[in-house]
A and B are shown apart, each in its own frame.
Chain A
Amino acid sequence: MNNSVTNTARLLGAGLRALLVLTLVCGVLYPLAVTGVAQALFHNKANGSEIKVDGKVVGSSLIGQQGYSLDYFQPRPANGLGTNSVNTQYKLILSGATNRAGDNPELIKWVRETKAKVVKDNSTADYNVRPSQVPADAVTSSGSGLDPDISPSYADLQVHRVAERNRLSVAQVQKLVDEHTEGRVLGFMGEPRLNVLELNVALEELVAKG
């Protein structure tokens, strides 16, 4: 009996020492080494790919923002986004999805209402949006709630509205959209997209130039 207790204690001791040594290797040395390389070679990316306008940070090119006025291109909905409920000394963005199923009544309602709003917002005096033109990404929330991108068809749909509200020609705004459309990586990875923040920053420059 005594013997087996001693053996167990010895084994647990070895386990603890193994864990501590490997914590040093995998939990301290490894992340520090990667951080060193990352900060030296990819300083901006490693720190969040921030975008500056006139020397002021206006966000990260990777993190979508909510709350643009209708003068600007609109991002995807983010109904799954939250604010932190613990450690409330901070106002952190809490990434997340809605997790609603296809037959969930709330999701059906959201999609319906958003679709009607997209049609209404983007129809101008000389341009009528048909509901069938609205792409899926315009009426659904992304997985992270932070999707920085929209599809080219959703951007195209917004061109007339953005042009009218900023007193620009449709051709000017369409050109801006075309310039900012990123195709699939190497022609086949992912989906075509436009970064909403970068697009709106460029739009503001265009408006300033007149």
Chain B
Amino acid sequence: MSPELAGVLQLLALIAALALAYRPLGDYMARVYSSDKHLRVEKWIYRGIGANPNTEMRWPAYLRGVLAFSAVSVLFLYVLQRVQGSLPGSLGFASIDPDQAFNTAASFVSNTNWQSYYGEQAMGHVVQTGGLAVQNFVSSAVGIAVAVGLVRGFALPHSRLRSSGGTPIRTGELGNFWADMVRGVVRILLPLSVIAAIVLVACGAIQNFSGIHEAGQFAGGSQQWNGGAVASQEAIKEIGTNGGGYFNANSAHPFENPNPFSNLFEIFLILLIPFSLTRTFGRMVGSLKQGYAILATMATIWLGFICLMWWTEFAHHGPAFEIAGGAMEGKEQRFGIGASSIFSISTTLTSTGAVDSFHSSNTGLGGGLNLLGMQLGEIAPGGVGSGLYGMLIMAIIAVFIAGLMVGRTPEYLGKKIGTREIKLAACYILITPALVLVFTAFAMALPTPANSMTNTGAHGFSEILYAYTSGANNNGSAFAGLNADTPWFNTTIGLAMLLGRFLPMVFVLALAGSLAEQTPVPATAGTLRTEKPLFTGLLVGAILIITGLTYFPALALGPLAEGLAT
């Protein structure tokens, strides 16, 4: 069997597995966020928090919950790293420097998991398992909560009137942040992670609490490796589209990703919730077809990118790859080019950033695809929660464009897209490009940041463009030749991650509030049918054109220059 055919079969197996999980998981998540009942363990947690999970919040209150929880999380994680040197169970590892501790705290709370440290030499058990892995859970639960808030904005008030049975409803309420976040952790992320972690251990991922382990080598001498709760962290790292590796080599490390099956399984975990959330969305707005249209948009882009990646990686243009006879630099033999390409596209089209091959050693155009995938805003299918709300924002833009064409006030899912809504959506799509391009421009203009580059020329520029793209879009993968552990990069990428995560959330929730206050308008003959393939096509086009216009000049200086020169 040729590697190309094996790649196609792996993709088909992946699609089949995702399709099998789509309905049950999507429907289950819709029930989780619509149910009036609280589990006993959730009641204990609410008592611990001191919050009433039945209080309905309007958007400002919901947003305050998001921001307060995240602010406390950044501070907690920062302090945990700063005192690591005195914490028991930390292998005697030293405390993390202030700039790196800030960067890492911002990174894990914003669901980015950009890592300017080397996991195995810097972070002990307490910080990894009790700090970083916890944020893997809660940051993704926050993402889903915000997406659910937006979906409720579209769905309310009609579905709420049905379920609440007599309690008076005020308009503009989005639900309860604490309840949504806790349910996401307890009912969705934890059960999935337990199963996934055990599957990964069965494949060979390690899971222990021993310290540094010294083993004799057959080749002579000995080697030292870290023990740790790797499988349990690996599971939520993929499921929550976080991406921060226990080890520096991330999912290329055999202890994180031991064999070809675990590799495909990890890609499945990355895509599982983001794709299934479109079913949840369809269920909650009362039209599964609307969910399928969003799903079709995501799947079209995802599949297109995988095919392009295969094409460029198997063709292996670039002097070093041509001499070697294949683009195997930075790739593991057990995965090969086919599966590594599926992984690298899936990780950059979601907000994951885990890697099983190193993107900096992709072909010029391959690295460009990774960059462009993130620049689309990570919406195909995107991070858990963030992918759905990002895509819904793009849908609003697409509806607006269609409205301009026919001269009608646009509406989406029965809600009018007026001046206020379109302003909020426009702000949303402007934030990340502004962060990426402004920070990249400063890094290139200043004398010292360029010293961090490993490669020169177009690829060196790509390293810096990639770093800010990855940070502001909350991806976390890297053209890792860039030495990002400098005060400049730690601070600016840290800021890009926080602003790139929470400013968009402000606009999403404001938009949700504004939609929730509206009474739905009935569909007429003139209403754009957003559940039809025509709309999917329009949406794909709008996404590609908007991203293309924004980033083309920057891409031309980096990956396009590199890819076309070889």
B-binding residues in A (CB < 8 A): 8, 11-23, 25-28, 30-31, 33-35, 37-39, 41-42, 45-51, 53, 56-60, 62-68, 72, 76, 80, 82, 84-87, 89-104, 107-108, 110-112, 115, 132, 134-137, 139-151, 184-191, 193, 197, 200-201
The segment out of B210-218, B423-431, B498-506, B531-539 that lies at the interface is B210-218
Whether the pair A104, B261 counts as a contact (CB closer than 8 A) is no
Whether the pair A136, B459 counts as a contact (CB closer than 8 A) is no
Q: Which residues of B contact A68 (CB under 8 A)?
A: 218-219
Q: Which residues of B contact A92 (CB under 8 A)?
A: 120-121, 212, 224-226
The listed residue (A14, A99, A140) touching B178 by CB distance below 8 A is A14
B557 interfacial by beta-carbon distance below 8 Å? no
Number of interface residues of B (CB under 8 A): 128
Closest chain B residue to A66 by CB distance?
B219
Q: Which residues of B contact A15 (CB under 8 A)?
A: 65, 68-73
Count contacts between A and B, CB distance < 8 Å: 398
A-binding residues in B (CB < 8 A): 1, 3, 6, 9-10, 13, 45, 48-51, 64-65, 68-73, 76, 91-94, 118, 120-122, 129-131, 133-134, 137-138, 178, 181-182, 185-186, 190, 193-194, 197-198, 201-210, 212-213, 215-221, 223-227, 229, 231-233, 236, 247-249, 252-255, 258-261, 263-264, 316-321, 323-336, 338-339, 355-358, 360-361, 363-364, 367, 454-455, 457, 459, 479-481, 562, 565-566
Whether the pair A191, B319 counts as a contact (CB closer than 8 A) is no
Whether the pair B331, A95 counts as a contact (CB closer than 8 A) is no
Whether the pair A22, B138 counts as a contact (CB closer than 8 A) is yes
Closest chain A residue to B366 by CB distance?
A102
Known interface pairs A30-B232, A191-B6. Does A38 touch B216 (Cβ–Cβ under 8 Å)?
no
Q: Which residues of A contact B70 (CB under 8 A)?
A: 15
CA distance A91 to B229 in the complex (A): 21
CA distance A157 to B96 in the complex (A): 47
CA distance A197 to B225 in the complex (A): 17
A-B contact pairs, 27 of them (CB 8 A): A8-B68, A11-B68, A14-B51, A18-B181, A19-B72, A19-B134, A23-B131, A27-B133, A31-B133, A34-B207, A38-B208, A46-B206, A47-B208, A62-B258, A86-B121, A99-B479, A100-B329, A100-B455, A134-B325, A142-B330, A144-B249, A185-B261, A186-B261, A188-B1, A190-B334, A191-B334, A191-B336
Whether the pair B69, A62 counts as a contact (CB closer than 8 A) is no
Whether the pair B330, A23 counts as a contact (CB closer than 8 A) is no
The listed residue (A67, A111, A135, A136) touching B220 by CB distance below 8 A is A67
CA distance A62 to B205 in the complex (A): 9
Q: Which residues of B contact A22 (CB under 8 A)?
A: 45, 134, 137-138, 182, 185
